[in-house]
Amino acid sequence: MMIDAISFERDALRYLDQRFLPLKEVRVATRDYKRVIEAIKTLAIRGAPLIGIAAGYAVVLAARQFKGKKKNFRAHLFKAIQEIEASRPTAVNLFFATARLKRVIDAELAQSDIPELAQKLEREARLIHDEEIERCELIARNGLRLLQQEFSHVLPFQRLTVLTHCNTGELATGGVGTAFGVIARAWEAGLIEKVYASETRPLLQGLRLTAYELEKAQIPFEVVSDSSAAFLMQKAMIDFVIVGADRIAANGDVANKIGTYAHAVAAHFHGRKFFVAAPISTIDFAIADGSQIPIERRANLELTRIYGRSVAKDNLPALNFAFDITPHSLVSAIITDKGVLKPNFADAIAELAPEQTESYDNA
Ligand code: MRU
């Protein structure tokens, strides 16, 4: 499946504006880092790994846009990076990407002129992009193996039904996807009967984007309202749940799209496995637990309007959290590119990258 969600060509960032999907495929090319910030804020570019990839390229554009003297270059770039980091708070991939580019600036600035440094930043941004694509492949492979093991008792007799939430495919990652990648590989291997995609209120990433990707991949699916997940489990229509993540704390607590926690509670109550698939760039090793993850609150209008059309008074009191935290006790396994983590997650995560303890200052 090639959706071509994002690329960097001829010094411009090219992306599919996801706000218009699936009705219109609007492609944008920009050389302005501020336009990339706007795209991230408005969810034209979205999904944790894709936000990280776009943030990397935004720094490259900011370097290319600089017209002043070299002595002012670092200040310009760090100011631009601060603006990029202020675009969205929850997905840690963004800060993972900017931290890498800051390291390149500080390591290379003294011995490089401005065009050379911009070149080095581009190399690093492309590396981040390539690594995310590679990580998706590894997650998909590890996830397939996990499903084969977990369901070895039923797979000779029946195929599996799965519930997923929000959007985790190429549109969210640039690669085969996180949760979506596992589903796609499992479908190809003959393990999956059907996918239930919850619509994902209020911005409908499940209805608009996951359905678009499932259709392209020719995987059988039905969109369901977010609130029907528990009922489908009660009717034994869902074998397992798999979602992506925007940030995972060091103890395995998972921040993901609002509604994820409710699915996890329902899965726990009904004895269904609840899997999280995420690259290690989504793990924030410096955050002890989920209570420290900054949760984005978005405009009330996203609730009172549907697709820009008012369905209630614009000034209605409304509370619009974009993400929630699923406690690690509800998570059966975290499928990463470095392997499948099982409880105790704190130990498994500490083992994964004991040297990485950098904290992302974005509160
Ligand atoms: O607000 P969004 O659409 O950026 O939220 C995206 C999600 O919550 C995804 O589930 C998450 O980023 C995992 S993506 C691979």
SS (H, E, C) 13-72: EEEEEHHHCCCCCEEEEECCHHHHHHHHHCCCCCCHHHHHHHHHHHHHHHHHHCCCCHHH
Give the residue, out of 46, 182, 183, with the most ligand 1 atoms within 8 A of its beta carbon, to mutate for a pocket test: 46
Say if residue 144's pLDDT is above 50.
yes
> Which atom belonging to ligand 1 lies closest to the Cα atom of 51?
4
Q: Could you tell me the two tokens for 155?
A: 């797979």
What per-residue confidence (pLDDT) applies to 2? 84
Gap from CA of 106 to ligand 1 centroid (Å)? 31
| Ligand 1 centroid, distance to 14 Cα (angstroms) | 20
Mean per-residue pLDDT of the chain: 96
The model's pLDDT over 153-163, given as tens digits with 9 standing for 90+, comes to 999 899 999 99
Name the catalytic one among 226, 239, 246, 324: 246
> For residue range 306-334, what is the model confidence (pLDDT) as tens digits?
888 999 999 999 999 999 999 999 999 99
Probe target for ligand 1 pocket from 3, 90, 166, 247, with the most ligand atoms within 8 Å of CB: 166
Output the CA 323–ligand 1 centroid distance in Å: 9
Contacts of residue 109, Cβ cutoff 8 Å, sequence gap at least 6:
73, 74, 117
Residue 263 has pLDDT above 70, yes or no: yes
pLDDT of 357 strictly over 60: no
List pLDDT tens digits, range 48-104. 999 999 999 999 999 999 999 999 999 999 999 999 999 999 999 999 999 999 999
Token pair, residue 120, equals 């080095």
Residue 361 pLDDT > 80: no
The predicted pLDDT at position 314 comes to 93
What does the alpha-carbon distance between residue 202 and residue 222 come to, in Å, rounded to a whole number?
Answer: 18
Give the position, in ligand 1's atom list, of the atom nearest the Cα of 48: 12
What are 270-303's pLDDT values in tens digits? 999 999 999 999 999 999 999 999 999 999 999 9
How much of the chain, in percent, has pLDDT values that exceed 70? 97
Q: Which atom of ligand 1 is nearest to the CA of 278?
A: 15
Structural domains in the chain plus CATH codes: 6-132 (1.20.120.420), 139-361 (3.40.50.10470)
**Ligand 1 pocket list (CB less than 6 A):** 43, 46-49, 91, 166, 168, 172-173, 178, 205, 244-246, 256-257, 322
Q: How far is the CA of 322 from the centre of ligand 1 (A)?
A: 9
Expressed in angstroms and rounded, the spacing between residue 282 Cα and the centre of ligand 1 is: 11
- The residue-averaged pLDDT of 239-258 equals 98
For residue 363, pLDDT beyond 50: no
Half-sphere exposure for 107 (CA within 13 Å, toward CB): 9
**CA–CA gap between residue 171 and residue 282 (Å, rounded):** 16
Query: Is residue 324 flagged as an active site residue?
Result: no
